[in-house]
Amino acid sequence: MYRDEHGTEIAVPEPTTVLATTERQYTDLRLPGILMVLLGLPLIMFFGLGILILRGLVMVEPNQSKVVLLFGRYKGTLRTPGFYWINPFASCKAVSLRVRNFDSAKLKVNDLRGNPIEIGAVVVWRVKDTAQASFDVEHYESYVAVQTESAIRTTAAKHPYDIAQAGQVSLRGDSSEVNVELMAQLRDRLSHAGVEVLEVRLSHLAYAPEIAGVMLRRQQAEAIIDARQRIVEGAVSMVKMALDKLRDDKVIVLDEQRAATLASNLLVVLCSDSDAQPVISTTS
């Protein structure tokens, strides 16, 4: 239960269930189109009978379909390419079955941490059920665009841009997981329009311009820290190996003070940003 500004309880109505329209094959009157053209042309001069006959001609191209309506009722869909003649009082609506791309605009949203980012995606889709696309939604092309942008915003808000914690998925580092999640959302949303989603992938991902400079410096600092950590770990390992090798092969006997001095000098050489400049002592 919800309450209004006066504290009165408000009952939330149950969602309305919309019965999906299922596509079926057109099985009513259908004759070869060429035959009806040859029959209709000579009858044009007889009270318009030929015009009525020619009005029933329908051409279906490859990967195209015709949704047939007769007096407001759905009679079926023509999917087989060819030239046909159907009931001249029926109306046909063309629905493309070809694969299409939808390239969303660069959307500005906030990620899980509230950082403004820019994100965009490419969706590859096609119409699977012509009846649902024609009768269950208004303008299925616009429906695909709006639902895609909504799914992108929802997905982006659920994940951080980068540096995810344990068990989290980041937008930049785990793009495959993000694409799969986005596809699952779109398949669920677009199933009401009879649309099949074939592929989804992020096409653009970046910080918003107002914070891009700061975030770039942060990434550079993190990269420097990570590189320094690797250098120090490698240098310590090399110094230990050098001291052990000198001790095991009995090349030179070092006491603790000389070993510490040698280790310090080796660490300076290995961890320095610039080339080491050796100093030769001439004093005894």
pLDDT tens-digit series, residues 168-211: 888 888 888 999 999 999 999 999 899 999 999 999 988 887 76
Kindly report, residue by residue over 218-250, the tens digit of the pLDDT: 666 666 777 777 877 877 888 788 777 777 776
Give me the number of domains the chain comprises: 3
**Residue 106 near residue 118 (C-beta atoms within 8 A):** yes
Q: Is residue 47 in some structural domain?
A: yes
Question: What domain range includes position 36?
Answer: 11-96
pTM of the entire structure? 0.69
Q: What angle do CA 142, 108, 196 make, to 5 degrees?
A: 35
Q: Is residue 238 in some structural domain?
A: yes
Q: Verify that 193 and 224 share a domain, yes or no.
A: no
Q: Is residue 281 in some structural domain?
A: no
End-of-domain residue from the set 186, 210, 234: 210
Kindly report, residue by residue over 29-79, the tens digit of the pLDDT: 888 888 888 777 777 766 667 788 888 899 999 999 999 999 989 999 999
Residue position matching structure tokens 């299925």: 140
CATH of the domain at 194: 3.30.479.30
Q: Is residue 2 in some structural domain?
A: no
Phi then psi dihedrals of residue 62, to 5 deg: -60, 140
Q: Verify that 191 and 126 share a domain, yes or no.
A: yes
Q: Is residue 143 in some structural domain?
A: yes
Q: What is the largest CA-CA distance in the chain?
A: 129
**Residue 195 near residue 134 (C-beta atoms within 8 A):** no
Q: How far, CA to CA in Å, does 105 sit from each of 28, 142, 158, 210?
A: 44, 14, 20, 19
